[in-house]
Structure 1
């Protein structure tokens, strides 16, 4: 559990996206960044002790920190796998060369795009050309790239084309549900009908996005058969993680507050790393203990056949109903026939098998490079 840390190190950003979930468009609302020494002492070192293996550095815009390279170098030296979520605007060729020299192949950069149409500029505060330019630069130096796609009511009609375009580039991607984390625009969230008719059909076409999406119709027996990992051995599936990633990852915001998911940060906290040890927060806080115990989830999520492999999106449950432990109201499992569900399960099994193979190949390549 808790193998991945999403670490927001700053609220500062050189963009002012209207719907920013981290609140970077409200600079006067937040306190100053913590020092690198504090981040290393209270977050990186304890994260290593609890078994975290991957850290995704984020913001705001992470590269606005003058000590960004120091944090990366320290995390690399400590043995973490490293990711960076960035808007890409500060990725000059000089910086990319520095990153390559510093981290070699131990780097995954996530670039965000919401659409290859006009919706992207409206929600991401930048032109498509900048995204493609930075993508070319990273690929020139063989930097691993992931694409993050925020999905909501505003881009549902172009979502299928966006995913198809990313698939044509043979790039992995993850979906991020739009939430009003630090934005008042709840009307931009997707609902059950949008998920059923637009978003889920697009996600089901490829194994490249299986890092995280729900509803996830994988039979626990199939998970066990395809991975060799015993189902229900742990509170959540973690090798690999699927469905809702709560319990596999956790988030720490710039103030040091720990949340079960980055999109729940600033709205709920299991504790603060500067006043309580990280290990205690993750394993002893009421919030974290309860949220990973999926059989106790409310409504259909607690009773579902896919309770362990899916869990329902805790973020959607919280922002739509106010109850983070409640059922995911965007799930449409109760509106499809047994025949449709069987079809979804077969599709999910097929793509999950491919995802597991891809994951195993990736791990093998990493091991070979390390030897």
Structure 2
């Protein structure tokens, strides 16, 4: 990831030239990726560059009517928003595809039956599919807390983008902070201000034209 973050526009163009759909996602800090994080992991500035790119192209895709959700650019894992949706259709598409999807549209089950809140193994688990009733898991307080973005702690808890962003990747946050509900440590956004409509429009123009 670190080695090609400055080539993503070229990679997108090449992918489309070959007739394939671009698919970009940041490396999650876990297992072997964590071991070699210094070589492949992104820093805060590189995360911002990556997500500016993904956000720009995802929004363009929605507005061209080519996407109802956003798998093509995988922006769901973390996007501190820089504009507001224009209408209900756009809002629905964005809400479906943005922010951490743990216990929202994805969960995981390990080979031993362990139920994880995401597609990656985490220290925090929800039970075991071999012995637990899945309906009980879905009705558990822990499951509800994971879905509730207001449960996020730290810097993200007071951020005005939290409902969209979801506090970033829960897997990486847990790995680094030790807390599944901890704030994402690589977010560049400082929540020391409020956006007014002029700020939103200016940022929208900068992002889509830049």
TM more than 0.5: yes
Could you tell me how far apart the structure 1 residues matched to 2:115 and 2:202 are? 35
Following TM superposition, where does structure 1 have runs of at least 4 consecutive aligned residues deviating by more than 4 angstroms? 335-341
Could you tell me how far apart the structure 2 residues matched to 1:170 and 1:205 are? 19
1:226-255 C-alpha deviation (Å, 9 max, x unpaired): 3575x9xxxxx4xx2322212221111222
Could you tell me how far apart the structure 2 residues matched to 1:191 and 1:162 are? 20
Could you tell me how far apart the structure 1 residues matched to 2:124 and 2:51 are? 28
Unpaired segments of 5 or more residues in structure 2?
Answer: 59-71
Could you tell me how far apart the structure 2 residues matched to 1:164 and 1:276 are? 47
Q: Paired residue for 1:206?
A: 57
Bigger Rg, which one: 1
Alignment of 1:228-239 (within 5 A): 237=95
- The Cα shift of 1:167 comes to 4.1
CA RMSD of aligned residues (A): 3.6
| CA spacing shift, 1:302–1:317, aligned 2, 3 Å | same
Unpaired segments of 5 or more residues in structure 1?
Answer: 1-151, 232-236, 351-371
Aligned length: 187
For the 8 Å contact 2:152–2:181, the answer to whether it is kept is: yes
Higher-strand-fraction structure: 1
For the 8 Å contact 2:98–2:164, the answer to whether it is kept is: yes
- Secondary structure of the 2:115 match is strand
Aligned match of 1:342 in 196, 200, 203?
Answer: 200
Aligned match of 1:166 in 8, 11, 15?
Answer: 15
- The Cα shift of 1:336 comes to 10
TM-score, length basis structure 1? 0.43
Q: Paired residue for 1:177?
A: 27
1:142-174 C-alpha deviation (Å, 9 max, x unpaired): xxxxxxxxxx43443334432333344351525
Alignment of 1:1-371 (within 5 A): 152-168=1-17, 169=19, 171-181=21-31, 184-187=35-38, 188-196=40-48, 198-207=49-58, 208-210=72-74, 212-217=76-81, 222=85, 225-227=88-90, 237=95, 240-246=96-102, 247-263=104-120, 265=121, 267-284=123-140, 286=142, 288-313=143-168, 314-334=170-190, 342=200, 346=204
Higher relative contact order (CA 8 A, sep 6+): 2
Q: Paired residue for 2:62?
A: none
- The Cα shift of 1:217 comes to 0.7
Could you tell me how far apart the structure 2 residues matched to 1:200 and 1:252 are? 28
- The Cα shift of 1:195 comes to 0.7
For the 8 Å contact 1:241–1:248, the answer to whether it is kept is: no
For the 8 Å contact 1:179–1:186, the answer to whether it is kept is: yes
Could you tell me how far apart the structure 2 residues matched to 1:290 and 1:280 are? 14
Could you tell me how far apart the structure 1 residues matched to 2:139 and 2:203 are? 33
